[in-house]
Amino acid sequence: MTASLVHPQSAARPPLEPLRVLPPLRLVPEPEGLLQIHTAPYRGSFAAVFSQALRSAGLGSRVLVSQFLKGGVAQGLAGSLWLCGRLQWLRPALPLCLDRPADALVTSAAEDVDPRSAVAEVWTFSRERLLAGDVDLMVLDELGLAVELGYVPAEEVTEVLQRRPAHLDVILTGPAVPEVLMAMADQVTELRRGA
């Protein structure tokens, strides 16, 4: 008796269809950075974002944190802090925090630094780093409030954020964010206190 090499059920099977050729996968050449906004009706949305920035720096990302209206440590560009070797933390060279419009400030001759120029120094440095794209994450704390109070020109902020490099993640924090920036955002997080 001879053995058959054909399985008895294989004769009933239909023939195999030829393999379809799928189009090749398209890989994204560069990661897309996000414009995120963390806002709250009160000042205080910075803490959660700062911990995210610190964690990113600890994992190897280059991070710039710029606080526009927080003084009190007279830091300025020359005295900016470095954390984890990769996070630069910058505040204006002011003896106290700013909470009123720029045109309502009365500066005396005894003051070493004009608040408008101190905030302008932080904005100029941040703008240059943002456009150069030499950081991976940039946190701009209370930038919207600095715009609203007249320390930073709104049109310039919008134009710079539109021109930012594609890989750069930017997080804006604070209680006041202009509508034009809200419309540009990829993600908006609104913090609320419980009722």
pLDDT tens profile 127-173:
999 999 999 999 999 999 999 999 999 999 999 999 999 999 999 99
CA 65/CA 50 separation, integer angstroms: 8
CA 48/CA 121 separation, integer angstroms: 25
Domain boundaries, the chain: 32-94+113-190
**β 169-174/35-39 pair status:** parallel
Q: Which CATH superfamily is domain 32-94+113-190 in?
A: P-loop containing nucleotide triphosphate hydrolases (3.40.50.300)
pLDDT value of residue 153: 95
Residue type, 87: L
CA 137/CA 135 separation, integer angstroms: 6
Q: What are the structure tokens assigned to 119, written together?
A: 């905030």
Specify whether the CB–CB gap between 152 and 68 falls below 8 A.
yes
pLDDT tens sequence across 91-110: 999 988 898 888 877 654 44
Whole-prediction pTM: 0.80
Alpha carbon separation from 100 to 29, 68, 86, 157, 195 (Å, rounded) = 45, 13, 33, 20, 28
Half-sphere exposure of 74 (CA within 13 A, CB side): 5
Query: pLDDT class for 10, splitting at 50, 70, 90?
Result: low
The DSSP annotation for 137-195 comes to EEEEETHHHHHHTTSS-HHHHHHHHHTS-TT-EEEEEES---HHHHHH-SEEEE-----
